[in-house]
Amino acid sequence: MALSTLPSELLLLISEALDSERDLNAFVRTNRRLFHLLNTTLYRHNIQFSGSSALEWAARYGRIETTKKLISQQANIHITNSDGQTPVGLAAQYDHKTIVELLLQNGACPHTTNPKSCRTLLSYAAKSNHQDVVRSLLKEGVTLDQRDCFGKTALFYAVEKGHNVVVQMLLEKGADPSLEDVDINSKDKGRTPLSLAASNGLIAVVNLLLKTNQADVGSCDNDGRTPVSWAAASGQRTIIKSLLQKSDIGKNLRDKEGRTPFSWAVIRKQKDMVKFLLEIDEIDINPKNHKGQTPLLWATINEEKGMVKLLVENDKIDINSRDVDADLGYVNITSLLLGRGDVDINMKDKSGRTPLSWAVNPTESLKPVSHEMIVQRLLATGRVDVNSRDNDGWTPLSRLLNSGHRTFKKGMVPILEAVIPK
């Protein structure tokens, strides 16, 4: 006898005898009659024996009708999967606005958070730029500034991803743009949305944040860096203009290493940014970090001759600034600066050593350069003190003689001849 000819009561008994949901599903799909007769049984079986897992699947993949049927059969809308996600959380994450609203209308909590990540529905939707879902959640009056386990708010995620529309929606509803990431283990290290937008070149987001008059231009992250510092390091001229127009408080602020926005622009080889900053009044172009290194020294260490030239040609630059770690590039910088008449050829560093002393007896940390050529250029000025003694009482000649086999190799004899007093 064919299944299609069996009485409905018998077919229902057969379906109830099937323990496996997989077998029941196959049975239901045998023909159209069985599907219409037993489809509800399949949903009930899933709810009773599989913990309403079908609702998770329907929410993730946007199956509206399946969601409705499961809800009508009293499916548990508060279930969580192995990642801590609820059906409404999955619907928000995967941009299924209708399912989000359907679940909320049937008892799902709009304030629910993932117990593992503490992420909110708004956080998931904002990060993924799901604008319709964000609107629906905002209508529900969800908490705007709730942080997750990483210390981030929905606004932070929207800024991080550059979702301008979502950022504007959140700000218009009153999201706080001054809140920073508070997770000490986070790679974002206490940065505010403004700081993140500034470094990522998100000018539209920066302007939205500044328009609120709540974003702090002078806010410092865990490393002491400001939005201006981040903008300078990443070469964001338009953004740094907007920031400084709002407030010039951050233009010379130093971070925990003693670096200013100008320092960062030079370190990151942002020549156009350096040109721009040089035109701003009261910008300190000679700041020393905690190691005593100046932007000019960094330009030399980076072998950025164009940058060095740009700095040297500026009257404000201090070419005789004493670098406390001279062996990092003292010889190189002296070679490049010999063209300026006001350079102090015999300037001593913290150890009392002069450029000539370093040239004849460089340390291993110096970049490979032609020390013979540098010595010759120094001596050609006619102003070098070949008898200058350092803090240990050594002259350039004694340094050279003490260097042994490392210095006495082909091409170094002229150096010896040059530094021996006539």
pLDDT in tens, the chain (422 residues): 566 665 555 555 555 655 666 655 666 666 665 565 556 776 777 788 778 888 999 999 999 998 999 999 999 999 999 899 999 999 999 999 999 999 999 999 999 999 988 999 999 999 999 999 999 999 999 999 999 988 899 999 999 999 999 999 999 999 999 888 755 445 567 899 999 999 999 999 999 999 999 999 999 999 999 999 999 999 999 999 999 999 998 899 999 999 999 999 999 999 999 999 999 989 999 999 998 889 998 988 887 888 988 998 898 988 777 654 445 445 555 656 776 777 788 888 888 988 888 878 776 555 445 567 777 778 888 888 888 999 999 998 888 777 764 554 544 565 566 656 65
pLDDT of residue 39: 65
pLDDT of residue 375: 78
Q: Dihedral angle at the C-alpha atoms of 232, 236, 239, 241, nearest 10 degrees?
A: 60
In a domain, residue 401? The reply is yes
In a domain, residue 148? The reply is no
Nearest-5° angle of CA 318, CA 323, CA 325?
Answer: 160
In a domain, residue 335? The reply is yes
Q: Dihedral angle at the C-alpha atoms of 297, 301, 305, 308, nearest 10 degrees?
A: -10
Gap between the Cα atoms of 100 and 385, Å rounded:
80
HEC assignment per residue over 357-396:
HHHHCCCCCCCCCCHHHHHHHHHHCCCCCCCCCCCCCCCH
Asked if 145 and 183 touch (Cβ cutoff 8 Å), the reply is: no
In a domain, residue 345? The reply is yes
Q: How many domains does the chain have?
A: 1
Gap between the Cα atoms of 99 and 395, Å rounded:
82
Q: Residue 343 is part of a domain; what is its CATH number?
A: 1.25.40.20
Burial class (CB within 10 angstroms; exposed 0-12, middle 13-18, buried 19+) of 306: exposed
In a domain, residue 268? The reply is no
In a domain, residue 200? The reply is no
Contacts within 8 Å (CB) and 24+ apart, 412-417: 412/372, 414/372, 414/375, 414/376, 415/359, 415/360, 415/371, 415/372, 415/375
Beta bridge partners of 120: 113
Asked if 388 and 357 touch (Cβ cutoff 8 Å), the reply is: yes
Residue 74, amino acid: Q
pLDDT of residue 405: 43
**What is the span of the domain harbouring residue 421?**
319-422
CA 382 from chain centre, in angstroms, equals 51
Burial class (CB within 10 angstroms; exposed 0-12, middle 13-18, buried 19+) of 302: middle
pLDDT of residue 183: 52
In a domain, residue 127? The reply is no
Closest CA to 189 of 256, 126, 261: 256
Nearest-5° angle of CA 354, CA 357, CA 359?
Answer: 110
In a domain, residue 392? The reply is yes
Strand, helix or coil at 120? strand
